[in-house]
Structure 1
Amino acid sequence: MPIRHAAMHLIDKKPDGSPAVLHKAQAELPPNEAADNLLADLNDAYNAKQGKAWGFFHAESGAYPLSGWLAKYLEGHNPFLDFTSQSVEHLVKLLEESNLSTGGHVLFAHYQQGMTEYLTIAILQHADSVMVDTDLAVRPSRQLDLSQLHQAARINLSEWRNNKASKQYISFIKGKNGRKISDYFRDFIGCQEGVDGPGETRTLLKAFSDYVESEDLPEESAREKTQTLVDYATAQTKLGEPVTLEELSSLLDEDRPKAFYDHIRNADYGLSPEIPADKRTLNQFRRFTGRAEGLSISFEQHLLGDKVEFDQDAGTLLIKGLPTPLVDQLKRNTMKEQR
């Protein structure tokens, strides 16, 4: 994960209401093992965060200037340190206008992963700790606390430059404690949501359930394919990468690598070729299946306790909200028996 450029600034904002004090870096972070480890740990913490959103830049304007500054840097018109200094000044302005007391160390990192270039921007908090020096003396220490990562965004620079129609080249953390704490940072990035990650993931899982039913797969095969989907999608979220429908399709069926992909396209689910999978939605998806004496039952885990109730002592299932075609068949059969 080669770092091309990185810089760290500090916004000192106390909770007493006093104005923020900006301490700008005088030089870029030197390329060394410490910087590499920091970025690797930050990426791990960021990828593990739930509740992220995906989107794209607003049109450049006075309210959303960062994309213009970023373009000038990438075109070679502005040094990286100047770009980050200009950007962090704008961040302080938005921070003051939002009346939030949260400051921190602001990291800008332009790096390459594989063939893809990224820019990560994150506000990092610190935690007080202790350290033992070479003289075996205990001294106070301040360490960056990546477990408190609440304001961060990652811009896929390659996607932004090469695919102007994309609406998911930016990902950012959405605030849990009300929108205000994340709104100012989202406005700083100049990002608008373009892809509903949880919604896209639910649609993908619905398409997969329909595919399993249409193929009338044996119980063991359905279970294996479900696990393949969940494992692949989960691995992609850990890497911070989207789920690619064609790649997923080939993993689900090596003999017919286009089968699932063609099912999605033919049924027109409206899915993009690449989906930013939502980890929370994936965790809720497991299938329970079983067949015996002419009875076939299959349902998703998240329905258990809602539309499906299991009585362990009696060994029975209570199913609510039966499919309309099945209800109609049962009604017709009941009417025949009553004649």
Structure 2
Amino acid sequence: MPIRNAAMHFIDKKPDGSPAVLHKANGALPPSEAIDNLLADLIDAYNAKQGKAWGFFHGESGAYPFSGWLRSFVDGQTEFMAFTDQAVEHLQRLMEESNLNTGGHVLFAHYQQGMTEYLGVALLQHRDSVTVSAELDVKPSRHLDLSQLHLAARINLSEWRNNKDSKQYVSFIKGKNGRKISDYFRDFIGCQEGVDGPGETRTLLKAFSDFIEREVLPEEAAREKTHTLVEYATAQTKLGEPVTLQELSELLDEDRPQNFAEFIRNADYGLSAEIPADKRTINQFRRFTGRAEGLSISFEAHLLGNKIEFDQEAGTLMIKGVPTQLVDQLKRSAAA
């Protein structure tokens, strides 16, 4: 994971309402094992965060200048440090206007993973601790606390440059500490939501369930394909990469690698070729399936305890919200 450029600034914003004080870095961070480890840990922490959103830049304007400064840097017209200086000054102004106590270290990291180029921006908090020296003295210590990562964004620069129609080259943490905080950081980056990650994931899972039902697979085969889907989607979320429908289709059926992809296209679910899978939605998805004596039952695990109740002692299922199509069939049968 080559790091091309990295810089760390500091905005001192105290809770007493005093103005934020910006401490700019004198230069870019030199290559070192420490910055490599920091970025690797930051990427892991970012990928593990739930509640991220995906989107794209607003048109460049006085309200949203970040993309213009970034474009100037990417095109080679501006040096990296000049770009980060402009950006962090803008962030300081937004902090003052929002009257939020969210100062901290501001990291800009321009790096590459595989063939993809990224820019990561994060507001990092520190934690006071203690350390033991070689002389066995106990001394105060301060370190960056990635467990408190609440404001961060990542721009897929390769996607931004090469796919003008993309609406998911920016991802950012929506945050749990109040919408006002996450909104001001989103406005700093100058992006808007373009893809509903949880919604797209739910549609993908619905399409998969329909596909399994159409294929009329044996119980073990259905369970195996569900496991493949969950494992692949989970791995992609850990990497911070989208689920690719073509790749998933190939994994689901090596003998017929186009089968699931063609089913998606023909049924017109409206899914993009790449989906930023939502980790929480994926984790809720498991299928219970069973067949016996002309009875076939299959449902998603998250419905258990909600629309489906299981009486373990009696060995019975109670189903609420029976599909309309099945209800109509039963009514016609009862009236015959």
Say whether the fold is shared (TM-score over 0.5). Answer: yes
Distance in 2, matches of 1:21 and 1:105, equals 12
What's 1:265 paired with?
Answer: 265
1:169-201 residue CA offsets vs partner (Å, 9 max, x unmatched): 000000223210101100000000000000000
**What secondary structure is seen at the aligned counterpart in 2 of 1:298?**
strand
What's 1:48 paired with?
Answer: 48
Please show how residues 289-304 of structure 1 align to structure 2 within 5 Å. 289-304=289-304
Distance in 1, matches of 2:136 and 2:114, equals 42
Identity of aligned residues (%): 80
Shift of 1:116: 0.5
What's 1:67 paired with?
Answer: 67
Distance in 2, matches of 1:214 and 1:16, equals 62
Please show how residues 238-317 of structure 1 align to structure 2 within 5 Å. 238-317=238-317
Shift of 1:134: 2.2
Distance in 2, matches of 1:240 and 1:309, equals 35
What's 2:185 paired with?
Answer: 185
**What secondary structure is seen at the aligned counterpart in 2 of 1:165?**
coil
Please show how residues 91-240 of structure 1 align to structure 2 within 5 Å. 91-240=91-240
What's 1:330 paired with?
Answer: 330
Which amino acid in 2 is paired with 1:89?
E
Distance in 1, matches of 2:265 and 2:335, equals 40
Shift of 1:125: 0.3
Name which of structure 1's ranges 174-183 and 156-165 shifts more when overlaid on structure 2. Answer: 174-183
Distance in 1, matches of 2:189 and 2:5, equals 18
Distance in 1, matches of 2:91 and 2:309, equals 51
**What secondary structure is seen at the aligned counterpart in 2 of 1:102?**
coil
Distance in 1, matches of 2:334 and 2:76, equals 76
1:211-262 residue CA offsets vs partner (Å, 9 max, x unmatched): 0001111110000000000000000000000000000000000000000000
Distance in 2, matches of 1:20 and 1:145, equals 21
What's 1:4 paired with?
Answer: 4
Distance in 2, matches of 1:183 and 1:295, equals 51
Which amino acid in 1 is paired with 2:65?
P
The number of aligned residues is 336
1:87-141 residue CA offsets vs partner (Å, 9 max, x unmatched): 0000000011111011000000000100110000000000011111222211100
**What secondary structure is seen at the aligned counterpart in 2 of 1:107?**
strand
Distance in 2, matches of 1:324 and 1:143, equals 57
Runs of 4+ in structure 1 over 4 Å off:
none
Which amino acid in 2 is paired with 1:11?
I
Distance in 2, matches of 1:85 and 1:325, equals 61
The Cα RMSD (Å) is 0.7
1:276-296 residue CA offsets vs partner (Å, 9 max, x unmatched): 000000011000001111111
**What secondary structure is seen at the aligned counterpart in 2 of 1:155?**
strand
**What secondary structure is seen at the aligned counterpart in 2 of 1:61?**
coil
Shift of 1:325: 2.1
> Which ranges of structure 1 fall in alignment gaps of 5 or more residues?
none
> Which ranges of structure 2 fall in alignment gaps of 5 or more residues?
none
What's 2:57 paired with?
Answer: 57
Distance in 2, matches of 1:330 and 1:69, equals 63
Distance in 2, matches of 1:236 and 1:83, equals 31
